[in-house]
Structure 1
Amino acid sequence: MVTHLDGPSLARLRLAISPASEVTSWLRAALSRFGHPVHGDPGPAARAALRHPDVALVAELVTPPGGLGYTPDLLTPKPPLGPLDAAFEQQLAATAATPADEVAVQVNERFPTGGIPARIRTSVEDGTLARRVTNGLRHFWRAALAEQWPAVRTTLEAELAVRATTMATTGVGSMLNSLHPKVGWTGSSLTIDSSYRIITALTGAELVLAPSALAWPQVSTQLCDEGNAVLVYPVGAGPAEPRRADRLGDLVGASRAAILADLDVPRSTGQLSERHRLAPATVSYHLGVLLRSGLVVRTRDRHSVLYRRSDHGDGLVGCRGRQEPTRSAIRRNTAWVGDPGSGT
């Protein structure tokens, strides 16, 4: 996929947190029998919320876990300008206000070969789908994500700070190239390595880059509508930062040091292979050495084997106090209290 950006569009590019994207990603994880690839099982409250009739409508609209396809943009409106505490309610208001004809267009794009589920077809025909989807997103947020939102928000705000620093010190092009291995910047166009062969153009439009703690490992795009242009990228999926490993290179070797420095979040052999452009067998060898040395720990999450630095490995790298939400924090699911925009 290629998206051309003119000068005014590049000038309007901004970074923002999208609560709607996070809740949609967490709902998709709840639909998967394997859970989330990093955070595991979303928990009983999330699964129970899927039985709510309006949440069930949302569940039928999202792309199935592990599948390809289009998820209607009305579920993930562009993050608004202004305070983050008000962002989710503003996004929900935008979802509810989606015109009926646009709702129908997006539903048809979601089911291009027909076979629209009966309850979705009925809601489109009677003009209630946008309102019911809004209610479903709000209900799932309250049941499954609101209590954990402060931890997720902390991770996302830290990511925004890193990207803003990169943009300020090395330029917008360097920042775009660092987002994800499948995202690149040519100097005039944003390229996304995907199964879609689409060429679009943004002319004087605002493009929002939204980091996600819960969309791992996918990049998702909304680049065909200039008024709702968003690129969602997973936190921690960009090229590894070699500077943290430089001082370890002489001790454990450059490649092994880079892998160790990259394990501040759980990663699989395949993910590390892609991020460091090493053969999977080479990564497995290095992980074996690090594991036997006590510098990493290994856990099994359903069918995935994930590696992460141990406390000893943290000490060697010089990292203390991780900013991302812990798996246990993400998995706690209790009743929502307080304002859904702030999660308090």
Structure 2
Amino acid sequence: MIIRFSPADLKLVSLARKPDPMWEIALSLHVLHKSGGSPDFGGWRGFAKEVVKADARVRDCALQLGRLCPEAEYFPDFLTPVTATHSLRHGIQAVSATPRELMSTQFSRTSGPRGRLRADLCDGDEQARRYLAGALMTYYNALIRPIATEVVACAEADWAIRRQAFQTDGLAGFFRTFPAEQLRWQPPFLHVRAPECELDLGGRGLTFVPSYFCWGQPAALVEPADRPVLVYPLVPGVRAPIPAEPKGDALAGLLGRARARLLTALDVPRSSARLAERAGLAPSSVSEHLAILRAAGLVRSERSGRSVHHALTEAGASLLGAQDPLGERPGSGLAATPR
């Protein structure tokens, strides 16, 4: 890939401090469904496969998402929307709002099995859109959230190295932190080891985003975007291996796994039936767990006609955000000004 920078683009480069949760979902799917890659992924892959084996809902989500997001030179850009840099919830909302025509166009460029879900999404089926949103959240909560603290810590170590180089020698210093075979700066062109294409930024700038699960070569949005994004692997040596048995989700340790699943499923207010479906729990047990969460001041419930809708309280939202440093909101980065 060759990226052309104008003088205006050089003033519009920004360096994100944390990974983007939507990119981590997509790239971790590639790690999960292949056997190669860095040995650093061995522990996480073992952990993930145990979870997938034990939980039919997670297994189905991983399978369906893997079909939509194959490991190839191209996978649909709408699965990693630029607006995902706000939070996991905003990213999933952006995916759900993707126009049917854009989904169809991008899916037509992918290889691999088509599957019923892909066909239904291309047909504009609303149930398929709801399933996709739920699958993304379920996959993240089961396989990414338990290691979010470790992922962010590795990204912070990468950030410290890149930031020092940037502050010392501007963008040229930042670019030199990458192996030459991954990225090479020859003003006004940035040569990137990525699928062959040319990208003229045209005054839109470029955002660099680190990724724990990116391996071998950077990844980029191929379709035109208001704010192009280049996702890159961490500096060699800072990606700490995830053990086969991660420390786990502290929220589950605090509240119990079922109540933690309910809390994380309340990314938006939901009825009892929708909440049970999203959390993968029996409706009878949901009522009992919600009563405990209400008593703890973490959830509020309101009746609307025949339905009861539930939402996080401020305390519940704060607790949920504190337990997930990756999915809630990436940290602030640097606006890059060239030397």
- Please indicate the TM-score interval, normalised by the length of the shorter structure: 0.5 to 0.7
CA distance in 2, matches of 1:206, 1:36: 31
1:175 aligns with 2:174: yes
Per the alignment, residue 4 of structure 2 pairs with 4
Q: Indicate if the aligned counterparts of 2:207 and 2:230 stay in contact, CA closer than 8 A.
A: yes
Question: Secondary structure of 1:215's partner?
Answer: coil
Question: Secondary structure of 1:209's partner?
Answer: strand
The 3 A distance-change label for structure 1 pair 50 and 184 is farther
- The 5-angstrom pairing of residues 45-84 of structure 1 reads 45-46=51-52, 48=55, 52-64=59-71, 68-78=72-82
Amino acid at match of 1:15: L
Q: Deviation digits for residues 234-253 of structure 1, max 9, x if unmatched? A: 1124xxxxxxxxxxxxxxxx
Distance apart, 1:118 and its partner CA: 3.4
**Greater relative contact order structure (CA < 8 Å, 6+ sep):** 2
Per the alignment, residue 242 of structure 2 pairs with 327
Per the alignment, residue 102 of structure 1 pairs with 102
Per the alignment, residue 229 of structure 1 pairs with 228
Question: Secondary structure of 2:214's partner?
Answer: coil
1:121 aligns with 2:127: no
The 3 A distance-change label for structure 1 pair 104 and 228 is farther
Amino acid at match of 2:12: R
CA distance in 2, matches of 1:131, 1:160: 35
Distance apart, 1:107 and its partner CA: 0.7
Q: Indicate if the aligned counterparts of 1:150 and 1:342 stay in contact, CA closer than 8 A.
A: no
CA distance in 1, matches of 2:96, 2:172: 35
Q: Indicate if the aligned counterparts of 2:74 and 2:109 stay in contact, CA closer than 8 A.
A: yes
CA distance in 2, matches of 1:136, 1:4: 37
CA distance in 1, matches of 2:202, 2:239: 35
Q: Indicate if the aligned counterparts of 1:3 and 1:190 stay in contact, CA closer than 8 A.
A: yes
1:31 aligns with 2:33: yes
Distance apart, 1:157 and its partner CA: 2.3
The 3 A distance-change label for structure 1 pair 141 and 35 is farther
Distance apart, 1:54 and its partner CA: 4.3
- Which 5+ residue runs of structure 2 have no aligned equivalent? 265-319, 325-339
Distance apart, 1:188 and its partner CA: 0.8
Amino acid at match of 1:122: D
The 3 A distance-change label for structure 1 pair 23 and 71 is same
Question: Secondary structure of 1:24's partner?
Answer: helix
Q: Indicate if the aligned counterparts of 2:20 and 2:209 stay in contact, CA closer than 8 A.
A: yes
Q: Count residues with an aligned counterpart.
A: 250
Q: Deviation digits for residues 261-301 of structure 1, max 9, x if unmatched? A: xxxx3xxxxxxxxxxxxxxxxxxxxxxxxxxxxxxxxxxxx
Q: Indicate if the aligned counterparts of 2:40 and 2:240 stay in contact, CA closer than 8 A.
A: no
Question: Secondary structure of 2:40's partner?
Answer: coil
Amino acid at match of 2:193: D
CA distance in 1, matches of 2:138, 2:60: 10
Q: Indicate if the aligned counterparts of 2:4 and 2:188 stay in contact, CA closer than 8 A.
A: yes
Compute the TM-score of the two structures, normalised by the length of structure 2. 0.64
The 3 A distance-change label for structure 1 pair 74 and 224 is closer
CA distance in 1, matches of 2:65, 2:227: 19
Per the alignment, residue 210 of structure 2 pairs with 211
CA distance in 2, matches of 1:42, 1:20: 21
CA distance in 2, matches of 1:341, 1:24: 22
- The 5-angstrom pairing of residues 265-344 of structure 1 reads 265=237, 324-328=239-243, 331=246, 337=260, 342-344=322-324
The 3 A distance-change label for structure 1 pair 32 and 50 is farther
The 3 A distance-change label for structure 1 pair 152 and 197 is closer
Distance apart, 1:119 and its partner CA: 3.0
Distance apart, 1:211 and its partner CA: 0.9
Amino acid at match of 2:32: A
Per the alignment, residue 200 of structure 1 pairs with 199
- Which 5+ residue runs of structure 1 have no aligned equivalent? 238-264, 266-322
Structure 2 residue corresponding to 1:20, chosen from 7, 19, 22: 22
